[in-house]
């Protein structure tokens, strides 16, 4: 009788914790949910380089925010129907040369660099941050690769639930539990050389490992003191 009573109590305890865990998971969205906390700008040096810090909170019921895999190539070279890379100037319907659509790859057989058609690797980034500038009252999204042949603010953060990967520049994570926490993105940029005296703002989102994109959060419209 004592043995039966022991197993009954043990079963009830396990059932309680199992139900409690299920209820916790149900309280969080499976699609990442972000909330804006703060955005600060400070001048780093006399050369006009600014320090930008974006802080936000996150919730994710799948607890799968952040990569566990190592670095992957940010671009994929596209092949044609014959399994050949597409060289610049061979297809009239493709875009004119720009740093987004065309990349350089060393051709070892011919000992030269080839310009090949490329597309972004969707696995390369999970943090997306876009800059919008207002010129004459019109909103314009800055395309860093097309306009400046430079990387923008998109980035790749590691598993938010793995203490061995944090802190790690440019991200800091303050986890409340495996489903919820806050994140800080800190970066250096010559922002004043891009926006000038024009008003601007940032929009930001993330993606989990199940390819679910979060909602988009944004800063207020700002102006720099130049």
Within 10 angstroms of residue 29's Cβ, the number of other Cβ atoms is 15
Q: Are residues 68 and 127 in the same domain?
A: yes
Quick one: 174 and 217 in the same domain?
A: yes
Return the structure tokens found at 108: 């070892």
Mean pLDDT of 70-95: 89
Other beta carbons less than 10 A from residue 164's beta carbon:
7
Residue 18 included in any domain: no
| 56 assigned to some structural domain | yes
- The domain total for the chain is 2
Q: H or E stretch including 16?
A: helix 2-26
Banded pLDDT at 162 (limits 50, 70, 90) = confident
Q: Are residues 162 and 201 in the same domain?
A: yes
110-151 residue pLDDT tens = 677 899 999 988 888 999 999 999 998 899 999 888 888 877
pLDDT band at residue 79, thresholds of 50, 70 and 90?
very high
Pairing of strands 138-141, 171-177: unpaired
User: What whole-number distance in Å separates Cα of residue 85 and Cα of residue 202?
Assistant: 36
Structure-token match 């019109």, residue found: 138
- Residue range(s) defining the domain that contains residue 102: 75-120
Whether residue 202 is found in the same domain as residue 129: yes
Residue 152: the pLDDT is: 86
Tell whether 86 and 116 lie within a shared domain.
Answer: yes
**pLDDT (tens digit, 9 = 90+) per residue, 143-153?**
888 888 877 89
| Mean pLDDT value across the chain | 83
Of the chain, the percentage scoring pLDDT greater than 70 comes to 81
pTM beyond 0.95: the answer is no
Are 58 and 167 within one domain? yes
Alpha helices in 40-180 (DSSP H): 144-148
Query: Per the domain annotation, does 192 fall within a domain?
Result: yes
Q: Which residue has the tokens 């969205």?
A: 29
């Amino acid at each position: 009788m004592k043995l039966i009573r022991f197993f009954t109590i043990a079963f009830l305890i396990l059932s309680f914790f199992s139900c409690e865990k299920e209820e916790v998971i149900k309280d969080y969205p499976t699609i990442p949910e972000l909330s804006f906390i703060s955005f600060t700008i400070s001048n780093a040096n006399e050369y006009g380089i600014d320090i930008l810090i974006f802080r936000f909170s996150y919730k994710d019921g799948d607890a799968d925010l952040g990569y566990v895999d190592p670095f992957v190539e940010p671009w994929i070279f596209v092949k044609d129907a014959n399994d050949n890379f597409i060289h610049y100037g061979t297809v009239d319907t493709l875009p004119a040369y720009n740093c987004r659509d065309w990349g350089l790859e060393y051709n070892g057989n011919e000992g030269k660099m080839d310009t090949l058609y490329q597309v972004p690797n969707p696995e390369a980034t999970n943090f997306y941050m876009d800059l919008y500038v207002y010129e004459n009252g019109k909103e314009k999204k800055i395309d860093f690769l097309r306009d400046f042949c430079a990387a923008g603010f998109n980035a790749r953060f590691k598993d938010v639930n793995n203490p061995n990967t944090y802190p790690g520049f440019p991200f800091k994570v303050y986890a409340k539990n495996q489903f919820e926490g806050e994140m800080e993105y800190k970066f250096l940029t010559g922002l004043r050389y891009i926006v000038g005296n024009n008003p601007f703002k940032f929009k930001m989102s993330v993606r989990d490992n199940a390819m679910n994109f979060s909602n988009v959060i944004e800063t207020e419209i700002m102006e720099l003191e130049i």
